[in-house]
Amino acid sequence: MAPAPARRAVLRAAALVAAAPALTSLAVGRATAASGAATGAKVPAAAWTLRPFNPEDVALRTSVFTAKRQLMLDFGRGYDVDRLLQVFRANAGLSTRGAVAPGGWEGLDGEANGNLRGHFTGHFLTMLSQAYTGTGEKVYADKIRHMVGALDEVREALRRDPVVLGVPGRFGTAAENVRGSYRYVDLPDTVLGGATAVTLAAWVKPAHDAGWTRILDFGDDTTRYLYLTARNAKGNPRFAITTSGAGGEQGLDGTAPLPLEQWSHVAVTIADGTGILYVNGSAVAKNTAMPLTPAALGTLRDHWLGRSHYAADPVFAGAFDEVNIWSRALTAAQIAELQKSPAAESSAGAGNLAAYTFEETTGGTFADSSGHDRHATLRRTWGAPSHPGFLAAYPETQFITLESMTSGDYTVVWAPYYTAHKILRGLLDAHLATGDARALDLAMGMCDWMYSRLSKLPRSTLQRMWGIFSSGEFGGIVEAICDLYALSGKAQHLALARLFDLDKLIDACAAGDDTLDGLHANQHIPIFTGLVRLYDETEEERYLTAAKNFWDMVVPTRMYGIGGTSNREFWGARGAIAKTLSDTTAETCCAYNMLKLSRMLFFHEQDPAYMDYYERALYNQVLGSKQDRADAEKPLVTYFIGLVPGHVRDYTPKAGTTCCEGTGMESATKYQDSVYFKRADGTALYVNLYSPSTLTWAEKGITVTQSTGYPREQGSTLTVRGRTAAFDLRLRVPAWATDGFRVTVNGRAVKGTWTPGSYASVSRTWRDGDTVRVDIPFRLRVEKALDDPRVQTLFHGPVNLVARDARTSFLTFGLYRNAALSGDLLPTLTPVPGKPLHYTLDGVEFAPFWEGTEEPTHAYFHRSEPTVVFGTLDSGVANPARDDGTTLLDAVWAAAPYRTKGALVKRVQSTVDAWVSAGLLTAADGRRVVATAKKADYLS
C-alpha cells in the first residue's frame, strides 16, 4: 500500500529536491517550489556525471522548434480530455459524461478491440506536464488536475463492488451499463421457478450494434440455456431455447434491428408448444414447434441480464428498464398494454416470478417487486481487481491471461504492461509538474499492484512473458518504476523494476553479442533506458554495459540517415540499409526512445557520438515527423516514415492515437531538454545543440542566450549575462564539421584545433556581457547505405535534404560536376531564391527533411558519376571504379579539402598514376583527366 498521507507529503517534497538527478522525463522546479525543500530523500547510487536542467530553465526562442511546438501546445490546450477518460470511466462503470473516445487505438472500436486503450491518456498527461513546465500556462495544469482527479475516481470505483448508474428510463429511472464496463445483472437461480409457460419482457435501450449481445441469458453453459439477444447474425432480435447446444435451438427471429439510443420493448411468450416474439407490442415472429419450456431446462446455474454464456459474445451496452418474468403467456393485448405503462399498472400486473423496475440510484442491488424477494445484483464479468492499486482502462484479465500465454496474439492481449507504463509515466510527470499528491498516490498504487502480481510468478514465467512479441511488450516501465523508487524509497519498487529483467537480451548485449536481427525494435529499445536507471540504483555494471553495447548495435549499423531505425517495426541484420527501405521504415517511437537512451548514456559517459546522434535524429526524423499544420482533433505525427522513393508521409495513421502519435506529442513539448547540460559539480556547461534559447542557470546567477538561425545559420552567438562565474564552456564540435570549427570570445579568436566529433572547451571566469561566437561551416555531403554505396542520402551540415518528386523509382544524380576545393558538393546545386536550404538539381527540388509537408519525397537516391568532370568541365573519360565500387572521382575527392587548385591537380595526377598502374585507366585517358583538372575553375 502507499504511505500514509503525511509521510507521503514529506517524502514527495524531499524527493523532488534530492532525487531530481534521477528523474529522466521531467524536471521538478514547479513542484519543488510548491512543496518546499526537505532533506533525507534517496539519491541514486551511481550519480550522473552530468545533470540536465529543469525544462523551465531553458526557454526556446523563435525557430523551427517553436513553430512545431506551438502547434502541439494549441492541440493540447484545446483538446477535450474527457474523450480520453471515457474508456477509464467506462471500465469502472462510471458515467462517461457523453464523451466519445477518439478511436483508433484509443477506444473499444479500434484495432484489436481497443486492447491498448489507456496508453494515449498517459502520453497526453506527459505532454500536458511538459507543456506546463515549459510555458507555465495554467490551462495545462488545470487539465492535468482534471485528469488526475478523474483517474482517482476511477480507481476508487474499481476498488468497490459495481454501483448502479441511474439514467432516465422508459418509466422513471433505468440502469445503464456503459459500453466497456463489462457489467451485467445477476438474478437468483430460482427466477424461472420451473415454469411450464413463461413470458419474458424487457425495455432496453441499446448503445452499440455489436452482434449477439444478450438482453438475457439463463443457462448452465453452452448446452442448456435460453436467451434473448438484441442482435442475431443479421442484426435482428432473437430468442432461443435448447437442451443440446446451438444445433438444437428452438428459436424466434425478429425482422428488423432494434434502433440504437432508443427505447424498445422486447417480449417472448412460450406456452403449449408455441413461441411468439414481440417488439414494441407487435408480434414479429411465431414458432408453433417450440415444446421446450423453462421446466424442461431443469435447474440452471446462471441467470444473467446483459451477459452471454458464449465467452466471445460482447456484454450488452445500454440501459435496462422494466424487466418482468411471468409464469404464463401474456396475451397480445397485455403485451400491447405494456407499451403505455409500467407492468405493475397494467392488467398483467408485475411479473409474478420476478419484476425489476430499476429505480435504484445507489448501491449495486435491484429490488424484486414480485413478492418473492428475488433481488438482483450488479456484477462485473471479470470480478474485482486483485489489488486496490489497480488502474487501467480495461479489465485485469489482459494481465492475467498474459501469464499463461506462450506466443503473442494482440487480438487477445496487447501489451498490457506497455499501457501500464504509459499511465504510470504520465502520473509521475503530472505529479512532478504540479505537485499533485493524488497523481503520486495513483502511481505508487499501480506499482504496488504490479508487484503483488509479478512477485508471485516464477522467474521462468516472467522470462517467457517478456520475450513474447507484442503481448509481452512493456515499454519503458522499468525507467518509470526506478523514477518512482527515487521518490518513494520503497524496496519493493526497486524489486519490481528488476522483475522485468529480460535476461537473455541483457546477457547477450552485456557480452557484446548482437542478437537483434528479427527483434521488434520498439519493444526492446526502451528496455535499455530502464537498464541505465537500474544501474543508477543498483550499480550493477551488467546493466550499463548492456545499454552501451546495444546502442552501438543500432548506431550506425541499423540506422537510416535521418536517425530512425526499424523496418515494419523490426530490425534486420547489421548493415542492412538499402535493402530494407520500405513504406514502413523508421517507426517514430524508435527515434524517440533512441534519443532518450542517447541522452541517458551521455549523462554517464560524455561520448560526443551520443549527442551527434541526438542532433541527427532530432533535427531530421523527430522534427519531420510532425506535420506543419494545426488540427484540433489529432496531433498529426507520423507512425512510420517511409524512405522508399516518392513516399508521402501519413500524419494521421489509425485515427491519430498510435504509440507514435503519443511519443510525438511528448517530443514536441520537450525540444529544449538536451540543449544544455551541466557537470554535476557545476564546473562546466555543455552546449550540445545550437538552438535559439535562453538558459537560466540559477546556481551561477547567470543566463546564457543563444541567438542563431541554426541550422539555416552556420553557427551561433552565446551571450552571458549576470554575476561573475567561473566554469568551462563545452561546445559540441559536430562530427560532420570537417570544414573547421571556430570560436571567438568578445571578438577574439580562441586558439585551438578541435576534432570533429568532440567538444571544444573554453575555460574562463565569465562576466556580464561576455559574448561567444561559434562558426561551423556547413558542407554538402553524402552518406552511403552500408550495404549498397550507390544508394545515398544528402546532408547539408546537420540537415538531411530530400528530393521532392512524385516518381516512385530511385532518382539518379551526379554531384561531383562542380565540387569546391573544400570538397563541398553544394556548388553543383542551385539555391532556390527566398527559400533557405532549398536547392534544385536537374530540375528536382531538394528541401529539409524536417519540413512537415505531404509532398512525395526521396530520402535516398542513386548516385551516378559516369564521366570524370571537374569544375563543370567534362573530360569525356568514363569514370572508372574499383571492385569495391570506389570511383576515380571518389578517390580524388576523398582527400579534400584542398588549399589550392595546385594541390587538387597534384592529387589528381597521383591518383591517375595509381589507377593507370593498376590497369583501371589507360595512359591516354589519364592525361585527358589531368588536363581537364588543370583547365577547370573551382570555388574555394
Written as one letter, the residue type at 297 is L
Q: What pLDDT is recorded for position 1?
A: 36
Q: Work out the mean pLDDT of the chain and round it to a whole number.
A: 94
How far from each other are the two terminal CA atoms of the chain, in whole angstroms? 70
In the predicted model, what is the mean pLDDT of residues 22-40?
35
pLDDT over 70 (residue 496): yes
Grid coordinates of 380: 462485473
Q: How far is Cα 899 from Cα 940, in angstroms, rounded to an integer?
A: 8
Torsion, CA 51, CA 56, CA 62, CA 68, rounded to 10: 90
Enumerate long-range contacts of 669-672, CB under 8 Å, 24 or more apart: 669/69, 669/72, 669/73, 669/76, 669/127, 669/130, 669/131, 669/134, 670/55, 670/130, 670/134, 671/60, 671/65, 671/68, 671/69, 671/618, 672/55, 672/58, 672/59, 672/60, 672/65, 672/134
Question: 596 in helix, strand or coil?
Answer: helix
What does the buried/exposed string (b/e) look like for 797-811 if buried means 16 or more CB atoms within 10 Å of the residue's CB?
bbbbbbbbbeeeebb
Q: How far is Cα 202 from Cα 670, in angstroms, rounded to an integer?
A: 54
Find all residues with CB under 8 Å of 380, minimum gap 6, and list them.
93, 162, 181, 182, 183, 395
Cis preceding linkage at 831, omega within 30: no
All domains of the chain in start order, with CATH = 1-40+79-161+384-500 (no CATH), 44-70+501-783+791-812+824-862 (no CATH), 167-380 (2.60.120.200), 865-940 (no CATH)
In the predicted model, what is the mean pLDDT of residues 402-422?
97
Q: What pLDDT is recorded for position 17?
A: 35
In the predicted model, what is the mean pLDDT of residues 63-82?
98
Grid coordinates of 523: 519493444
pLDDT over 50 (residue 503): yes
Q: What pLDDT is recorded for position 32?
A: 36
Q: What pLDDT is recorded for position 654?
A: 87
Grid coordinates of 303: 441467470
Find all residues with CB under 8 Å of 171, minimum gap 6, and list them.
203, 321, 322, 341, 342, 357
Q: How far is Cα 341 from Cα 422, in angstroms, rounded to an integer?
A: 50
Contact indicator for 106, 84 with CB cutoff of 8 Å: yes
% of the chain exceeding 70 in pLDDT: 95
pLDDT over 60 (residue 39): no
Q: What pLDDT is recorded for position 77?
A: 98
pLDDT band at 842 (very low <50, low <70, confident <90, very high): very high
Written as one letter, the residue type at 858 is H
In the predicted model, what is the mean pLDDT of residues 546-550?
98
Q: What pLDDT is recorded for position 43?
A: 38
pLDDT tens for each residue of 43-55 = 343 569 999 999 9
| DSSP 8-state secondary structure symbol assigned to residue 348 | T
Q: What distance lies between CA 48 and its chain's CA centroid?
A: 27
Q: How far is Cα 285 from Cα 265, in angstroms, rounded to an integer?
A: 14
pLDDT over 60 (residue 18): no
Written as one letter, the residue type at 547 is A
Q: How far is Cα 625 from Cα 639, in angstroms, rounded to an integer?
A: 8
pLDDT tens for each residue of 612-642 = 999 999 999 999 999 999 999 999 999 999 9
Q: What pLDDT is recorded for position 46?
A: 53
pLDDT over 80 (residue 362): yes
pLDDT tens for each residue of 166-181 = 999 999 999 999 999 9
pLDDT band at 371 (very low <50, low <70, confident <90, very high): very high
Q: Which of 110-114, 269-273, 510-514, 763-767 has the lowest mean pLDDT?
A: 110-114
pLDDT band at 239 (very low <50, low <70, confident <90, very high): very high
| Longest alpha-carbon distance in the chain | 115
Q: What pLDDT is recorded for position 655?
A: 85
pTM: 0.93
In the predicted model, what is the mean pLDDT of residues 589-612?
98
Question: 50 in helix, strand or coil?
Answer: strand
Cell 540559477 belongs to residue? 698
pLDDT over 70 (residue 402): yes
Q: What pLDDT is recorded for position 411?
A: 94
Q: Which residues on neighbouring strands pair with residue 368, listed in sequence order?
A: 356
Question: 723 in helix, strand or coil?
Answer: coil
